[in-house]
Amino acid sequence: MAAFLRCPLLARHPPLARAFATGARCPFMGFAHRAAPELQEDVERPQIPAVEVLEELLRDGGAALNRTVRDCMDEDAFPYEEQFQAQLGALRRTHTYRVVTAVGRRADAPPLGTRGTAPHTSVELWCSSDYLGLSRHPAVLRAARAALDAHGLGAGGTRNIGGTSPLHGALERALALLHRQPRAALFSSCFAANDTALDTLARILPGCQVYSDAGNHASMIQGIRRRGVPKFIFRHNDPHHLEQLLGRSPPGVPKIVAFESLHSMDGSIAPLEELCDVAHAYGALTFVDEVHAVGLYGARGAGIAERDGVQHKVDVVSGTLGKALGAVGGYIAGSEALVDAVRSLGPGFIFTTALPPQRGGGALAALQVVGSAEGAALRRAHQRHAKHLRVLLRDRGLPALPSHIVPVRWDAEANTRLSRALLEEHGLYVQAINHPTVPRGQELLLRIAPTPHHSPPMLENLADKLSECWGAVGLPREDPPGPSCSSCHRPLHLSLLSPLERDQFGVRGAAAG
């Protein structure tokens, strides 16, 4: 009875309180209902597995429309569709038509992925530029999720109009510190960074001349071409040819020397200090693309310039967040005035929506990993696996070039056939690289990118299956380099021995591989 009297309504009506005490139902509670789960703030919603969410999004939304650009034109209009088909036909005849392979990378089991819809086919990824696997590192994902929860999916605008978050500024400061430069500026991609920076610098420097390495990336070539300034091409990684060209330029004319520290396709490393010294001797700015070196070389992962101790000789460095750092986006770093000029005058910075904040959060966390002891261990494992794979391929007579990118050269038709055979027959995804990514005649059969997460058995399996497909296609082999075992006659992997092991076994002069 005392409990019912605590009700403010029943306390005024003792007869009702006595009635409820004997078991009668409360007339007021008859109108009350339990709140739906979505209205109960203290009820945790069941978590739907990410795979199920994505499967729902990937369901076929209906048949594609069948229409052409000629549907709304008169018969005497230009034959647009025929022209498009003629260009595509030429690509197919030369085996350079690009077939995009859709692969779902597994964050829980790198370097594995899936193909197709459920039930999925499992594949091993061998051509990803996520060199260290940081795109799925727990600290990177945690930072990206925190930024997503705090700021939402998109940036909300360009950097000048509502799109700059505190994460953008923090990331730019971290990148400037990484490269020992006063300032950095973020872009939507490194293609945009190279294109915008080179175009803008050539425009604001009166009478500017550009000296470009013959192997430069398309983003650099496009930025140089945009302004129509005088340009000179020097032989790939050849400081002597560069000096010959610069020697013909009048003193006092603004000049830019642009090159990659590590070539994106064949992995060759530039003689960075020599090129910078030649450029500076003739009063030229050095513009160095470190895209495929950031995160992988140097004590802190800053790239080849840090490894070689010449960061102070690089005037402008460009890099990416989308390869070893596992995110997306590009940047430049340089002097305060230079970067501010590109930021203030470059259309590719001004008129582009800013990077989403979660990309900034993830990239900041990736930089912390790269600069830590864990990052150094990942770099060592990455180099060790790349070297091991090169040895395995050479043992089988396959022409692998010395680089952390393991390119195997042949012609475009063989590229396509072998890439398809590896994927369809063995579940090994290695993308063939054809024109226009590389010049005609310089096609890469396969651009293989081993990571720290590829195990030694995976390396052995790839080498075996590639050798098998190589023989099936009928391609010639090279003689394996180095000595062989006197018992089993298999090549000895002397280049994989440590200095202590070489001394122990009396090995001298083993190839570096």
**pLDDT tens digit string along 188-232?**
999 999 999 999 999 999 999 999 999 999 999 999 998 889 999
- In CATH terms, 137-371 corresponds, of 3.30.70.260, 3.40.640.10, 3.30.540.10, 1.10.287.130, to 3.40.640.10
Per-residue pLDDT at 232: 97
Residue 6 has pLDDT above 70, yes or no: no
Residue 410 has pLDDT above 80, yes or no: no
Residues placed in the known binding site: 98, 190-191, 212, 231, 264, 292, 320, 352-353, 437
pLDDT tens for residues 238-249? 999 999 999 999
Q: Quote the CA–CA distance of 187 and 352 in Å, as a whole number.
A: 8
The full DSSP string for 114-170 is EESSSSPEEEEE-S-S-TT-GGG-HHHHHHHHHHHHHH-SS--SBTTTT---HHHHH
Q: Quote the CA–CA distance of 233 and 216 in Å, as a whole number.
A: 10
Q: Which residue has the higher pLDDT, 195 or 472?
A: 195
Instruction: Report the run of H or E that residue 203 belongs to, with start and end.
Output: helix 190-204
Residue 484 has pLDDT above 60, yes or no: no
Q: Quote the CA–CA distance of 238 and 26 in Å, as a whole number.
A: 93
Q: Please list the residues that pair with 320 across neighbouring strands.
A: 330
- CA triple 271-277-278, angle to 5 deg: 90
| pLDDT (mean) for 266-288 | 95
Residue 483 has pLDDT above 60, yes or no: no
Window from 25-34, 97-106, 235-244, 295-304 with minimum mean pLDDT: 25-34
Residues placed in the known binding site for pyridoxal 5'-phosphate: 190-191, 264, 292, 320, 352-353
Per-residue pLDDT at 98: 79
| pLDDT (mean) for 146-165 | 94
Q: Quote the CA–CA distance of 448 and 8 in Å, as a whole number.
A: 77
pLDDT tens for residues 278-294? 999 999 999 999 999 99
Band of residue 405 on the pLDDT scale cut at 50, 70, 90: confident
Residues placed in the known binding site for succinyl-CoA: 98, 212, 231, 437
Per-residue pLDDT at 493: 55
| pLDDT (mean) for 411-423 | 81
Per-residue pLDDT at 36: 62
Q: How many residues does the chain have?
A: 513
Per-residue pLDDT at 492: 55
CA 496 remoteness from chain centre: 28
Query: Model's pTM, two decimal places?
Result: 0.82
Band of residue 52 on the pLDDT scale cut at 50, 70, 90: confident
89 contacts: CB under 8 Å, gap ≥ 6: none
Window from 173-177, 256-260, 292-296, 470-474 with minimum mean pLDDT: 470-474
Q: Which residue has the higher pLDDT, 20 or 183?
A: 183
* CATH no. of 387-479: 3.90.1150.10
Instruction: Report the run of H or E that residue 319 belongs to, with start and end.
Output: strand 316-320
Q: How many alpha carbons fall within 13 Å on the CB side of residue 172?
A: 24
Q: Strand 121-125 and strand 209-213: pairing?
A: unpaired
Q: Which residue has the higher pLDDT, 364 or 498?
A: 364
Q: Quote the CA–CA distance of 14 and 289 in Å, as a whole number.
A: 86
H helices present in 346-483, as ranges: 347-350, 357-370, 373-395, 412-426, 456-473
Q: Which residue has the higher pLDDT, 228 or 4?
A: 228
Residue 502 has pLDDT above 80, yes or no: no
Sketch the domain layout of the chain as residue ranges.
137-371, 387-479, 484-512
Per-residue pLDDT at 31: 47
The residues that are catalytic are 323
Window from 42-56, 306-320, 332-346 with minimum mean pLDDT: 42-56
pLDDT tens for residues 365-403? 999 999 999 999 999 999 999 999 999 998 998 887 777
